[in-house]
């Protein structure tokens, strides 16, 4: 049996990461698990390393943020090797969505239980993604942040990029075609999600499920800043799909075009500019997840 591989991003989480990693090493050693630890050295290094793993690898444990998980998924999509994300980054959207805590003993229990779900992934202009895409305003914020980023980021790191984008962004006209049907052709911004969770606890793609064979599209019609503020308020209340100038749609293939290039973000990193071709690839990645939680009533189980 091949060992379990730990892929560690040394820039994720700082002290939190070091504490979890030390506890995880001890817990896995106590459980008699053979491990190989690899520390990434830069962007795309996790993809390179994971892509060279033998197909009989027991599991890959990712000690990093969503960006590191995305790199590993790009390498292991379509393989039989299961992935377990450990939450030590800024947002940890996937780990939170799956109910994985930053507790070493709980992580070892997940590895021992080996409950695996097969999740969909998306593909944007040939690149694999697992979580969420933002086109327009969101993409511009991430582009601005990437220009000044030098290492680990926190929620505070987004303040100035968001503030500047809010006052300087011109809402572009987007033409969006879903499964061959044009559903939007107006100024606005858009999100595509494989999971419901987004930054700061927002549920933009409110009904998204990672194993339903579909991706969720949310389009906010928006020409000016006041409308953007209203959209943000309704999204906080999770009532935005009910608004008249918001489109909520599920699809398998999507085309996004614009008169001039519009930036996007993909799983929190800078993505390609329009035009964008997006499609879902069902059941392409295997994820290790916790067992169902017990409810207050002992004979019932609550799914993750």
The string of pLDDT tens digits covering residues 203-226 is 888 889 999 999 999 998 887 766
Average pLDDT over residues 144-151: 72
Name residue 158's beta-bridge partners.
none
Measure the CA–CA gap between 259 and 262, rounded to whole angstroms.
Answer: 9
Which tens digits make up the pLDDT trace of 25-71?
999 999 999 999 999 998 889 999 999 999 999 999 999 888 889 99
Q: What is the DSSP letter of 146?
A: H
The residues spanned by each domain of the chain are 4-115+289-302, 127-281
Distance from C-alpha of 47 to C-alpha of 43, rounded to nearest angstrom: 9
Q: What is the pLDDT of residue 198?
A: 81
Pick the CATH number of 127-281 from 2.60.120.1140, 2.60.40.3080, 2.60.200.40, 3.40.50.11860: 2.60.200.40
- Whether 80 has a pLDDT exceeding 80, the answer reads yes
Binning pLDDT at 50, 70 and 90, where does residue 200 land? Answer: low
Name the band, by pLDDT with cuts 50, 70 and 90, for residue 87: confident
What is the average pLDDT score of the chain? 85
Spatial contact of 236 and 202, defined as CB atoms under 8 Å apart: yes
Token couple for 269: 């990193």
Task: Quote the CATH superfamily of domain 4-115+289-302.
Answer: Probable inorganic polyphosphate/atp-NAD kinase; domain 1 (3.40.50.10330)
Q: Is the pLDDT of residue 302 over 50?
A: no
* Region of residue 201 (phi > 0: left; psi between -120 and 50: alpha; otherwise: beta): left
For 128-137, 164-173, 239-248, which range has the lowest pLDDT when averaged over its residues?
239-248
What global pTM score does this model have?
A: 0.82
């Amino acid at each position: 049996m091949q060992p379990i591989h730990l892929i560690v991003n040394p820039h994720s989480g700082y002290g939190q990461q070091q504490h979890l990693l030390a506890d995880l090493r001890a817990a896995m050693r106590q459980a008699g698990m053979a491990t190989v630890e690899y520390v990434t050295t830069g962007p795309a290094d996790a993809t390179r390393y994971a892509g060279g793993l033998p197909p009989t690898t027991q599991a890959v444990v990712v000690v990093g943020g969503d960006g590191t998980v995305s790199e590993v998924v790009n390498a292991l999509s379509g393989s039989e090797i299961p992935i377990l994300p450990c939450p030590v980054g800024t947002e940890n959207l996937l780990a939170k969505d799956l109910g994985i805590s930053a507790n070493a003993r709980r992580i070892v229990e997940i590895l021992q239980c080996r409950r695996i779900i097969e999740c969909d992934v998306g593909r944007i202009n040939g690149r694999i993604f697992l979580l969420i895409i933002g086109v327009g305003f969101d993409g511009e914020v991430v582009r601005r942040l990437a220009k000044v980023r030098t290492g680990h980021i926190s929620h505070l790191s987004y303040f100035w990029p968001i503030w500047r984008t809010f006052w300087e962004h011109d809402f572009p006209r987007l033409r969006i075609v879903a499964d061959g049907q044009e559903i939007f052709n107006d100024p606005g911004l858009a999100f595509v999600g494989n999971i419901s969770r987004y930054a700061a606890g927002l549920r933009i793609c409110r009904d998204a499920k990672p194993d339903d064979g579909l991706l969720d599209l949310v389009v906010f019609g928006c020409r000016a800043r006041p409308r953007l503020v209203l959209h943000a308020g309704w999204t906080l209340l999770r009532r935005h799909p009910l608004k008249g100038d918001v489109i909520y749609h599920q699809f398998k293939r999507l085309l996004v075009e614009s008169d001039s290039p519009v930036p996007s973000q993909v799983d929190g990193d800078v993505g390609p500019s329009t035009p964008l071709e997006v499609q879902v690839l069902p059941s392409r990645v295997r994820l290790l997840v916790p067992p169902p939680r017990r409810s207050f009533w002992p004979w019932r189980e609550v799914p993750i």
